[in-house]
Amino acid sequence: METVIFQKETYRAMPCVATIGCFDGVHRGHRFLIERVMEGARRLGRGAMVVTFDRHPRTVVTADCPGLLTTMGEKLRLLEQTGIDRCVVMPFDREMAMMGAEVFMQRILRGQLGVEQLIMGYDNRFGRRSEGATDDYVMMGERMGLKVTREEPLMVKGVKVSSSVVRALLSEGEVAMAAHCLGYHYRMCGRVVHGEHIGSRLGFPTANMLPIDDGKMWPARGVYAVDVWVDGVERRLQGLCNIGVRPTFGGQHVTLETHLLDFEGEIYDRMMTVAFVDRLRGEQRFRTTNELVKQMERDRMAAHVVFERKNND
């Protein structure tokens, strides 16, 4: 995949079939749409292109930006896996936010990017105030020689797949269903830092992870079975991840701590990635540390069941 940061003075147009959007998460619905773009491009003998933005548009137009599912680096790596020919990253600023849909289509998509056919997602809107119904985009396109079509939503287990649906699932701790929609287990990445060593004193040492991107969404508080990758460790590990304030010990701040089930060693200051496989339970406050330890033993057994089931799928 060729990745291009759009600059109108230097951009070299490519006659193409394209789709446009934020593509946060690059979930199965996005990949379904991109497959249609590539099929259309092959039929016409044109390039296949994704147009996305350097930030979520809502960071510019409103103060209510959702937690993101992917960093820009993650998004580009996932897009590359689709086999698309080119990804154009558009700088999104106030000027672009105020641009009308028809002007954007005429000046940017048709004029500067060389788009001959635009395939839109079922819930996609662009242009000032995200104006326009499907018929509006179709008619605008006809006036400038740009064919516009809209795809139907991808349904997974009775759910219309979208980034907002995935966020809603993660906010409820439904990471297994989120994985069905994403096509992969949701991940967070960060650096292992020193904590209060409470887990070690209880016989469950944990790696405290400081996420490297404050903009990424955190799943709901609770205990999860997770796959783990640690820099310098060649194999994938398995673990129990707790997201919460540690109410049994009067904690005040939400932390992400992972107990590795099959690894012992010094990993402070290393980068670690956790992928959320399944939620085992919600956050709980225990009356005594003994009750907590017994529950953690049950959590460890439950995690092994999750991983055994995952390996057999």
For the record, the structure tokens of 136 come out as: 């509006």
Q: Give, for 14, the enclosing helix (H) or strand (E).
A: none
**pLDDT at res. 279:** 98
- Tell me if 225 sits within 8 A of 302, measured CB to CB: yes
Q: Tens digit of pLDDT for each residue in 30-85?
A: 999 999 999 999 999 999 999 999 988 888 877 677 899 999 999 999 999 999 99
Q: From CA 241, how far away is CA 227, in angstroms rounded? A: 9
Instruction: Identify the burial level of 41 via C-beta atoms within 10 angstroms of its C-beta, where 0-12 means exposed, 13-18 middle and 19 or more buried.
Output: buried
Question: What does pTM read for this prediction?
Answer: 0.93
Q: Give the pLDDT band (50/70/90) at residue 125.
A: confident
Asked whether 203 and 293 are in contact (CB, 8 A), the reply is: yes
pLDDT in tens, 142-196: 999 999 999 999 999 999 999 999 999 999 999 999 999 999 999 999 999 987 7
Ranges of beta strands (E only) in the chain are 2-5, 16-20, 47-53, 86-90, 115-120, 147-150, 155-156, 159-160, 187-193, 207-211, 222-230, 237-244, 255-260, 271-281
Q: What is the pLDDT of residue 166?
A: 98
pLDDT at 129: 56
What tens digit of pLDDT does each residue of 244-275 get?
A: 988 777 777 899 999 999 898 889 999 999 99
pLDDT at 219: 97
Residue 73 pLDDT: 95
